[in-house]
């Protein structure tokens, strides 16, 4: 066997734990967590793809791996809780993956993975092999030499040689162990020297060379550092022993052990199918591309007229447009695809031999009289309107149907659905137009290629329509789909087309105020710090707070002390600089997110902002908003409210009108729970939070103090979101005991609410779904997850989804009804925005009173509940005043 030159040693524990914490909730069809496994697999496959190794070993912790260090220091790792229960099976699945991929794994009894990796590197050096330690753990930097490098796949394959370690840590590899001993390691509970942080440790080692040098010159080290060292010498020497890696271990020394073996493709496929890793399946066995039929390109007037005659005999047909932009209001139409079935698909180029005007005039009567099938047909409706064509309400939208059937799925685009349902890979758009700043548009692509691409879209859409029609019927979701989601599409199209006016002068003036306020806060921070520094740099801020000002940090990570918002909130009263930093960050976020970017969203043709409303994103059924997200402008912040003042009617003599449901989710809670006390509270009118406080305290409503009302309000809304005592105690700044007492008292008074909440969880656990009052379903597989936190989060979804989802259903019904009234009564008023339970309108003077009545009628009459629906209507000259 030829001698090997490179050996890759993978830190399985680091890969798995990093993936577990970095990747959001992922579960397989059985509800078991898979985020750590997925990240681990992707990382290993990326490593193999990028470096094509021939020899690689994956190292895991052994059982009882902390035994030797525990003997030195019983508190070693003692602060760590048990390994999350949902993570435990993922270790076994990770080993399964390695076995199927032909990768050796190594686990030594009583030994941590770091030590095993170090021992392998030492052995490999004796064999003339260069070792790449694939890890992000800084402890391993002490192993780096001319024969050993660190490869961090999580930082774009960053490779650290000895010089790289100096660049990263300011010290050569042989001094890293001493540096880490002073610093300690919060994750392993290695104590280090309390009071000395990364900068202090670096300065000491740089000046004195080693721990031995520090001890030798201890008398010279003054101030807090010297005192900390003198008081903790024993801890320092102990920490150095704990940091030292064990290298004298019995490991495999046969080269063949480390060689990558034959891949078991069937085993990998079974693993990926079991855990629903579709993207990994594609990489493993790329699906066959759609078989390209010769696209039927309509090139003559005769062909166009024959097509129109044929389609006029159909009740509905599929439509897809090809354009120059993803933004429909900025796009130019390039061509139109039409289809009746898999074998009856046509493409009509608008940039071909036929005159564009002739094509539009011929198609207009057909497209305005027939119902259309499409995928994300809202986009196509915009394009058709831009061509002067006003289509009917869509007959079917496969993207929306996919969402109604599987709301918890993250992807409903045509490429993903074609792959999921038919194992078909569509022509990538990038293969036609490229990507990035140099990308072309469809207008630049040869007509034959655009025709093939468009025909494929039509074919897949028709196949999905057939599939989803059956599933919607089987799941009893046709009423929700046909009476709510489909009629909403033209309403949203009209709202997007209308847009909203932004007064940039007001926004610019606000921007100057924010800039001045930021500057003053900046100067105040520098004065308190005694120096200037980059406030936006977590490292520099950490040095100022925890090194220079000696504020005791509540949270330490492997890379130092955290300065995130949660930490700064905990330290709020510890130093006058902290609230200033929080205020500075708030101002900077407002400036960067809204002040600087909102004017860029103004369409030069209309002078208005046209955001996009998404029907297929939020799993609850709520609409989301993007480009820009106007649902997210802060309302509790005074300057956030000022941003809303910049949104106003474009014309003189017009008003903004806001209509929002009053306490809609609490009313739905009363309806679903049928709690008599809660129903009566809403039927009799008045302040529900005051009434709740009176019921909890057993006093008259007029005796309720503002503090009592505030606590009752927090409990009322907390119940909706499944809040526990911990969350309530933090919100109200009271003890856990008090918070728990409030919640228990609430459930004693509103006993039916408690029954409803428990019933919601149990029903969802049995069926796997939470449902709204219109039958909208949300899959919640995590209700059986062994991880308590994940399971509790799933229980909160089971409780909240019927309430939040039903609220979403209600306002969608109201929007459809309002749009119909505006059209039928010939009113000029325009619906502009939906912000969950609120609608914003632009209304002329003469329609103001009419609209106020109309909105209350349609919104309050949208659905019949056991309690009255109440809508608050407000009028103002801008959004803020509403």
Note the pLDDT tens digit of each residue in 241-268: 899 998 989 999 999 999 999 999 999 9
What is the band of 1 on the pLDDT scale with cuts at 50, 70, 90?
Answer: very low
> Environment class of residue 854 by beta-carbon count within 10 Å: exposed (0-12), middle (13-18) or buried (19+)?
buried
Residues 122 and 260 in one domain: yes
Residues 253 and 304 in one domain: no
Give the span between the Cα atoms of 723 and 713, in whole angstroms. Answer: 13
Residue 644 included in any domain: no
Residue 655 in this model has a pLDDT that exceeds 50: yes
pLDDT computed for residue 828 by the predictor: 98
Give the span between the Cα atoms of 219 and 222, in whole angstroms. Answer: 8
What is the band of 481 on the pLDDT scale with cuts at 50, 70, 90?
Answer: very high
Residues 716 and 753 in one domain: yes
Final residue belonging to a domain, choices 797, 817, 841: 797
pLDDT computed for residue 82 by the predictor: 79
Residues 126 and 36 in one domain: yes
Q: b/e for 474-484, b at 16 or more Cβ within 10 A? A: eeebeebbeeb
Residue 728 in this model has a pLDDT that exceeds 90: no
Do 397 and 376 touch, CB atoms closer than 8 A? yes
- Using DSSP, how many helices (H) and how many strands (E) does the chain show? 36, 25
Q: Which residue has the higher pLDDT, 724 or 757?
A: 757
In terms of Cα–Cα distance, which of 272, 254, 270 is closest to 104? 254
pLDDT (average), residues 483-502: 97
DSSP annotation of 564 reads: S
pLDDT (average), residues 108-132: 94
Residue 117 included in any domain: yes
3-state SS assignment for residue 107: strand
The residue segments making up the domain with residue 89 are: 1-169+249-279
Residues 43 and 150 in one domain: yes
Question: How far out from the chain centre does Cα 277 lie?
Answer: 19
Residue 606 included in any domain: no
Residue 479 in this model has a pLDDT that exceeds 60: yes
Total residue count of the chain as it appears in this document:
882
Residue 339 in this model has a pLDDT that exceeds 70: yes
Do 484 and 613 touch, CB atoms closer than 8 A? no
Residue 706 included in any domain: yes
Residue 227 included in any domain: yes
Residue 65 in this model has a pLDDT that exceeds 90: no
CATH number for position 221 = 1.10.150.20
Residue 832 included in any domain: no
Final residue belonging to a domain, choices 494, 515, 550: 494
Residues 386 and 447 in one domain: yes
3-state SS assignment for residue 539: helix
Residue 311 in this model has a pLDDT that exceeds 90: yes
CATH number for position 253 = 3.40.50.1010
Residues 225 and 339 in one domain: no
pLDDT in tens, 760-815: 999 999 999 999 999 999 998 888 888 787 888 889 999 999 999 999 999 999 99
Residue 539 included in any domain: no
Least confident range from 108-117, 282-291, 490-499, 666-675: namely: 282-291
Residues 84 and 125 in one domain: yes
Map tokens 């529900």 to a residue. Answer: 688
Report the domain count for the chain.
4
Residue 513 included in any domain: no
Do 334 and 324 touch, CB atoms closer than 8 A? yes
Residue 292 in this model has a pLDDT that exceeds 70: no
Least confident range from 419-423, 494-498, 512-516: namely: 419-423
Residues 391 and 445 in one domain: yes
pLDDT computed for residue 467 by the predictor: 97
Residues 158 and 184 in one domain: no
Residues whose CB is less than 8 angstroms from the CB of residue 834 and which lie 6 or more positions away in sequence, other chains included:
495, 613, 623, 625, 631, 811, 815, 840
What is the band of 859 on the pLDDT scale with cuts at 50, 70, 90?
Answer: very high
Six token digits for residue 836: 């969950």
Residues 346 and 437 in one domain: yes
Residues 269 and 407 in one domain: no
Give the span between the Cα atoms of 234 and 240, in whole angstroms. Answer: 10
Residue 288 in this model has a pLDDT that exceeds 80: no
pLDDT in tens, 347-382: 999 999 899 999 999 999 999 999 999 999 999 999
Give the span between the Cα atoms of 266 and 844, in whole angstroms. Answer: 67
3-state SS assignment for residue 20: helix
pLDDT in tens, 18-58: 999 888 878 887 778 899 999 999 999 999 999 999 999 99
* Bridge partner residues of 9 (DSSP): 57, 133
Question: What is the side-by-side strand order in the sheet with 500-501?
Answer: 500-501, 608-609, 602-603
Six token digits for residue 252: 């495999």
Do 178 and 239 touch, CB atoms closer than 8 A? no
Final residue belonging to a domain, choices 754, 779, 797: 797
Count CA atoms closer than 13 A to 545's CA, side-chain side.
Answer: 29
pLDDT computed for residue 376 by the predictor: 97
pLDDT in tens, 537-583: 988 998 899 888 888 877 655 456 788 888 888 888 889 999 999 99
Six token digits for residue 518: 């930021």
Phi, psi of 830 (to 5 degrees): -125, 135
What is the band of 7 on the pLDDT scale with cuts at 50, 70, 90?
Answer: very high
Residue 188 in this model has a pLDDT that exceeds 90: no
Do 305 and 362 touch, CB atoms closer than 8 A? yes
């Amino acid at each position: 066997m030829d001698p090997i030159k490179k050996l890759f040693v993978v830190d399985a524990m680091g890969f798995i734990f990093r993936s577990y914490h970095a990747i959001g909730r992922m579960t397989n069809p059985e509800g078991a967590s898979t985020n750590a496994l997925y990240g681990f697999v992707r990382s290993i496959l990326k490593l193999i793809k990028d470096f094509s190794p021939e020899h690689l070993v994956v190292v895991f912790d052994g059982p009882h791996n902390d035994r030797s260090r525990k003997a030195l220091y019983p508190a070693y790792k003692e602060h760590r809780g048990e390994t999350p229960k949902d993570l435990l099976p993922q270790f076994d699945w990770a080993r399964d993956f390695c076995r199927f991929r032909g990768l050796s794994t190594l686990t030594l009894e009583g030994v941590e993975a770091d030590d095993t990796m170090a021992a392998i590197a030492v052995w490999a050096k004796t064999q003339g092999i260069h070792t790449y330690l694939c890890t992000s753990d800084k402890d391993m930097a002490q192993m780096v030499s001319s024969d050993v490098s660190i490869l961090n796949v999580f930082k774009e394959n960053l490779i650290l040689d000895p010089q790289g370690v100096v660049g990263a840590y300011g010290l050569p590899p042989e001094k890293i162990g001493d540096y880490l001993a002073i610093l300690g390691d919060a994750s392993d509970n290695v104590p280090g020297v309390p009071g000395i942080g990364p900068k202090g440790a670096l300065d000491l080692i740089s000046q004195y060379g080693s721990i031995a040098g520090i001890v030798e010159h201890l008398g010279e080290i003054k101030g807090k550092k010297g005192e900390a060292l003198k008081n903790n010498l024993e801890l320092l020497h102990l920490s150095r022993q704990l940091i030292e890696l064990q290298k004298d271990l019995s490991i495999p020394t046969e080269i063949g052990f480390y060689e990558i073996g034959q891949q078991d493709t069937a085993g990998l496929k079974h693993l990926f199918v079991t855990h629903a890793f579709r993207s990994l399946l594609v990489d493993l066995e790329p699906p066959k591309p759609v078989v390209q039929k010769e696209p039927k390109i309509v090139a003559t007037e005769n062909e166009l007229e024959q097509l129109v005659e044929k389609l006029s005999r159909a009740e509905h047909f599929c439509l897809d447009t090809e354009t120059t932009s993803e933004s429909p209001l900025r796009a130019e139409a390039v061509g139109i695809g039409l289809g009746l079935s898999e074998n009856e698909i046509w493409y009509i180029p608008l940039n071909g031999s036929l005159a564009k005007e002739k094509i539009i005039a011929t198609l207009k009567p057909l497209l305005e009289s027939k119902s259309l099938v499409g995928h994300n047909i809202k986009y196509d409706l915009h394009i058709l309107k831009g061509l002067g064509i006003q289509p009917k309400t869509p007959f079917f939208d496969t993207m929306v149907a996919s969402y109604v059937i599987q709301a918890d799925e993250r992807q409903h685009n045509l490429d993903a659905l074609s792959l999921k349902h038919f194992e078909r890979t569509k022509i990538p758009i990038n293969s036609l137009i490229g990507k990035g700043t140099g990308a072309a548009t469809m207008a630049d692509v040869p007509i034959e290629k655009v025709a093939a691409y468009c025909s494929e879209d039509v074919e897949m859409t028709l196949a999905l329509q057939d599939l989803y029609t059956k599933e919607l019927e089987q799941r009893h979701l046709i009423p929700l789909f046909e009476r709510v989601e489909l009629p909403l599409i033209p309403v949203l199209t009209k709202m997007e087309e209308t847009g909203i006016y932004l007064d940039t002068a007001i926004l610019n003036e606000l921007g100057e105020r924010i800039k001045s306020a930021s500057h003053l806060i900046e100067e105040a921070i520098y004065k308190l710090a005694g120096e200037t520094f980059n406030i936006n740099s977590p490292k520099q801020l950490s040095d100022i707070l925890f090194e220079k000002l000696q504020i005791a940090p509540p949270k330490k990570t492997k890379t130092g002390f955290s300065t995130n918002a949660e930490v700064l909130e905990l330290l709020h009263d510890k130093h006058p600089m902290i609230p200033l930093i929080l205020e500075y960050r708030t101002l900077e976020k407002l400036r960067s997110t809204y002040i600087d970017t909102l004017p860029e969203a103004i369409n030069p043709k209309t002078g208005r902002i046209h955001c996009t409303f998404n029907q297929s994103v939020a799993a609850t059924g709520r609409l989301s908003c993007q480009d820009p997200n106007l649902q997210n402008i802060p309302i509790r912040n005074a300057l956030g409210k000022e941003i809303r003042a910049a949104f106003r009617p474009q014309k003189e003599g017009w008003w903004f009108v806001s209509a929002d449901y009053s306490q809609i989710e609490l009313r739905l809670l009363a309806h679903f729970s049928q709690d008599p006390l809660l129903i009566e509270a809403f039927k009799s009118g008045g302040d529900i939070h005051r009434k709740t406080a009176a019921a909890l305290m057993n006093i008259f409503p007029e005796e309720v103090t503002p503090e009592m009302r505030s606590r009752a309000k927090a409990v009322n809304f907390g119940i909706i979101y499944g809040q526990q005592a911990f969350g309530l105690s933090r919100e109200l700044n009271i003890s856990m005991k008090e918070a728990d007492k409030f919640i228990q008292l609430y459930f004693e008074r509103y006993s039916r609410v408690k029954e409803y909440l428990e019933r919601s969880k149990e029903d969802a656990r049995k069926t796997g779904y939470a449902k709204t009052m219109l039958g909208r379903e949300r899959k919640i597989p995590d209700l059986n997850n062994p991880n308590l936190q994940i399971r509790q989060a799933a229980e909160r979804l089971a409780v909240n989804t019927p309430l939040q989802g039903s609220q979403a259903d209600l306002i969608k019904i109201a929007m459809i009804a309002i749009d119909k009234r505006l059209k039928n009564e010939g009113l000029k008023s325009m619906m502009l925005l939906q912000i969950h339970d609120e609608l914003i309108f632009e209304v002329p003077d003469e329609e103001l009173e009419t609209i106020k009545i109309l909105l209350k009628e349609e919104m309050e009459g949208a659905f019949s509940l056991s309690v009255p629906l109440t809508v608050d209507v407000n009028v103002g000259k801008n959004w803020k005043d509403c």
